[in-house]
Amino acid sequence: MTIVDPTTTTAWATLTGLKTAYTPDLRAAFAGDPERAARFTRTCADLYVDLSKNLVDDHILEALVALADEVGLGDRRDAMLSGERINVTENRSVLHTALRRPAGDSLVVDGTDVMPEVHEVLDKIYAFADKVRDGEWVGVTGKPIETVVNIGIGGSDLGPVMVYEALKPYVHERIQCRFISNIDPTDSGEKLSDLDPETTLFIVASKTFTTLETLTNARMARDWLWRRLIEQGAIEDTEEARKGAVAKHFVAVSTALDKVADFGIDPANAFGFWDWVGGRYSVDSAVGTVVCVAIGKENFADFLGGFHAVDEHFATAPWAQNVPALMGLLNVWYVNFFKAASHAVLPYAQYLHRFAAYLQQLTMESNGKGVRADGEPVTTETGEVFWGEPGTNGQHAFYQLIHQGTQLIPCDFIAMANTAYPTKDGDADVHELLLANFFAQTKALAFGKTADEVRAEGVAEELVSAKVFEGNRPTTSIMAPALTPSVVGQLIALYEHITFTQGVVWGIDSFDQWGVELGKQLAMQIAPAISKDDAALEQQDASTRGLIAYYRSQRS
Ligand code: F6P
């Protein structure tokens, strides 16, 4: 794969010149161009995306599009969609987009059509979800399942939790889901303490089925299940009875079905996927089984359909209309030309309260890299920090810094036209109050408040500077009719392709994650030193020795 150094392109030189000459003035930009909002607004499936409050003009947008062409974004996109091994450091195809292609499609990779397998697994998940939802799948004592506990971490947790929370109004009335991820024993302790083992089903989700946190939590959950079932007199304390309990209360999701069997889960109760699905791109694979059980197969199919609609848009829309590409290019503009170190994602939709956490893995595990796909160092800044909270909570916490701080923080605002809870407070429609805040914030960020405007309000001169808002703080506004399964799929696919676009410009392999390995290895080396192995303790650096010594002195 030939990597084009973006900083050597003609478009980069053009952008550098444009940035030098550019004095952001969104007030003037809107005043001088009544069509600006319309000209900078795009649609992508059900998403209405207003880019007009970004720090761009037509020339900048043209140069960003030219940059996409010069770095070969189209070829890289097509290579991904057709199953080329663009994840070079792991020598893998990158085919999460295949997971949402309709049945009947064909996608031949290395001589094999992957689509029949994709739909075979999907059908198996749908049949399983039906059984659990219909009460046909029962626990050892014949009771239907009331709680599904997903045990996973990273991509095997963040996507499922986020989507489950986002689609709460679609969840089956008898079934609640919980998620155990952290190896901190308080996580499983809290999540399990009030559950009835007879009505609880565990899904152990791990692509590799080797992840320390997940396997530790899965073993603890299995012990909890046995202990509680025996205590309740639901099963005998025998090997046979324990096996029977696992068969009824544990299923697995993994690419490593041999390891699933080693854990004691019948491979018939396992849902597979493939090494060409990256962990952080896997909520639309079998990793989404917990979601499918919660919302049902029809809704899950709509969810996948939402992804696919955005995939089609990304695959076919010209760059100037292509929303994921444009948003990715705008992020490059801010990171590389304005030195923006972070990007806030602010959903005005409480159900999306885990969206930023989910995006953190998607974006930062993908593009938080200093080495390109060809092993050479990157030539410019990469991988901004993504963060956020739902509005209006964020407004009362960190918006101060976005409005008046010294760093430029581009923000994506997300809102739905309709709420699942239409509610009035007196005459006021409460959803409209939420939207008023959304619109007000993007307006305040773009247009600010001048010193003269502050003075005109009668503010004492010594307080004027503190009350000035510079404005010209860039935002993208994303709206959709409602937070349906399809729209949630669309939002995820949108950010997947934004992330991909940025990675292509920077020459990064956005699908590996070597940066998480060292800490995992060291944790395994350090573990013996913590409790008792003094020889292992001696091998540690002075700071680590001191920390462990403190721990040993304090533990009870
Ligand atoms: O530690 C990083 C990581 O490999 C993620 O990329 C992945 O989503 C997570 O661990 C969990 O991995 P697995 O699904 O194999 O348990």
Mean pLDDT of 549-556: 93
Mean pLDDT of 79-101: 97
Mean pLDDT of 442-468: 98
pLDDT in tens, 369-411: 999 999 999 999 999 999 999 999 999 999 999 999 999 999 9
The rounded Å distance from CA 404 to ligand 1 centre is: 38
Mean pLDDT of 510-520: 96
The rounded Å distance from CA 355 to ligand 1 centre is: 18
Task: Read off the pLDDT band of 532 (50, 70, 90).
Answer: confident
Mean pLDDT of 356-362: 98
Catalytic, 520? Answer yes
- Within a 10 A sphere around the Cβ of 321, how many other Cβ atoms? 13
Q: Return all residues near 24 (Cβ < 8 A) that are at least 6 apart.
A: 55, 472
Mean pLDDT of 307-335: 98
User: Which pLDDT value is given to residue 282?
Assistant: 98
The residue to mutate among 87, 208, 524, having the most atoms of ligand 1 within 8 angstroms of its beta carbon, is 208
285 Cβ inside 6 Å of ligand 1: no
The rounded Å distance from CA 357 to ligand 1 centre is: 15
User: Which pLDDT value is given to residue 531?
Assistant: 87
pLDDT in tens, 166-200: 999 999 999 999 999 999 999 999 999 999 999 99
Task: Read off the pLDDT band of 133 (50, 70, 90).
Answer: very high
Q: d(Cα 425, Cα 434) in Å, to the nearest integer?
A: 12
The rounded Å distance from CA 209 to ligand 1 centre is: 9
Q: d(Cα 95, Cα 114) in Å, to the nearest integer?
A: 10
Q: Taking a C-beta distance cutoff of 8 angstroms, is the pair 392, 347 a contact?
A: no
Residue among 302, 309, 281 at smallest CA distance from 44: 309
279 Cβ inside 6 Å of ligand 1: yes
255 Cβ inside 6 Å of ligand 1: no
Q: Taking a C-beta distance cutoff of 8 angstroms, is the pair 190, 182 a contact?
A: no
Q: Taking a C-beta distance cutoff of 8 angstroms, is the pair 183, 216 a contact?
A: yes
pLDDT in tens, 189-229: 999 999 999 999 999 999 999 999 999 999 999 999 999 99
pLDDT in tens, 290-311: 999 999 999 999 999 999 999 9
Task: Pick left, alpha or beta for residue 91 (phi over 0 → left; psi -120 to 50 → alpha; otherwise beta).
Answer: left
Residue with tokens 């030939």: 2
The rounded Å distance from CA 278 to ligand 1 centre is: 9
User: Which pLDDT value is given to residue 354?
Assistant: 98
289 Cβ inside 6 Å of ligand 1: no
Q: d(Cα 25, Cα 56) in Å, to the nearest integer?
A: 10
- State whether the Cα torsion 49-55-61-63 is positive or negative: negative
Residue 1 has pLDDT above 80, yes or no: no
User: Which pLDDT value is given to residue 508?
Assistant: 98
Residue 2 has pLDDT above 90, yes or no: no
Residue among 335, 310, 311 at smallest CA distance from 505: 335
User: Which pLDDT value is given to residue 296?
Assistant: 98
Q: Return all residues near 335 (Cβ < 8 A) that are at least 6 apart.
A: 341, 381, 382, 384, 502
Residue 80 has pLDDT above 90, yes or no: yes
Percent of the chain topping pLDDT 90: 98
Catalytic, 365? Answer yes
Q: Return all residues near 331 (Cβ < 8 A) that are at least 6 apart.
A: 343, 384, 410, 498, 502
Residue 255 has pLDDT above 80, yes or no: yes
User: Which pLDDT value is given to residue 537?
Assistant: 94
- Catalytic residue (one of 365, 384, 389, 496): 365
Catalytic, 396? Answer yes
153 Cβ inside 6 Å of ligand 1: yes
Mean pLDDT of 78-98: 97
Mean pLDDT of 492-497: 99
Q: What is the mean pLDDT of the chain?
A: 97
Q: Taking a C-beta distance cutoff of 8 angstroms, is the pair 287, 273 a contact?
A: yes
